Amino acid sequence: MQRLGFDYDLVPCCTPVDGTGGPELCARVSLKDCEGVDFVLYKGAGTAGQDPVVDVQQANAASGGAAKDLDCIARFFTKKEATLDGDELWVETVQTKASEITVDTDLAEVEAMQVYHVDAADLDMAGGYYWAFITIADFANTQLVSVFAVRTGLLVQRKPSNLRNPNA
């Protein structure tokens, strides 16, 4: 934990939840005092054809307020296997810059991790949009999913117990 609070901060966005409960709106993460954020989606295996639909958004308030697409995802990384056991390699996906994530057509039926990076400079901060978050559409079939954020390039470095609220 020597780098926690100096290089990065971790933020729970969506604790493990069944994706059939409707769209998941992950907690918003402030990018006011960091250079960027990596959203990490971690999911269990589900039913074929029920691939997660992820959309990256920006907002002008920690809760409520206005939200809009954040068309900044040109690449992301995936680890997937029938059972994630630590021997998987990251696979890069390149897409036209968008807020929506182009997923593999076989992602539903395997366990997987995906990482999407957002630079603070991608947000409309001049318009007051300081928070980034992702939404995940309803899967229609049982599939557990969780999301956490890794705030990177902290502009104010502190010991972990003195880090500020990442949603403020």
CA separation for the pair 71, 48 (Å, rounded): 28
Which of the two residues, 117 and 104, has the higher pLDDT score?
Answer: 117
DSSP symbols for 58-102: EESSSSSS-EEE---EEEEEEEEESS--S----EEEEEEEESB--
Tens-place pLDDT, residues 14-23: 887 766 665 6
Task: Name the pTM for this structure.
Answer: 0.91
pLDDT for position 1: 56
Domain range summary for the chain, segments of one domain joined by +: 22-153
141: confidence class by pLDDT, cuts 50, 70, 90: low
Quick one: how far is CA 18 from the chain centroid?
Answer: 17
Break the chain down into helix, strand, coil percent, rounded to 5.
Answer: 5, 45, 50
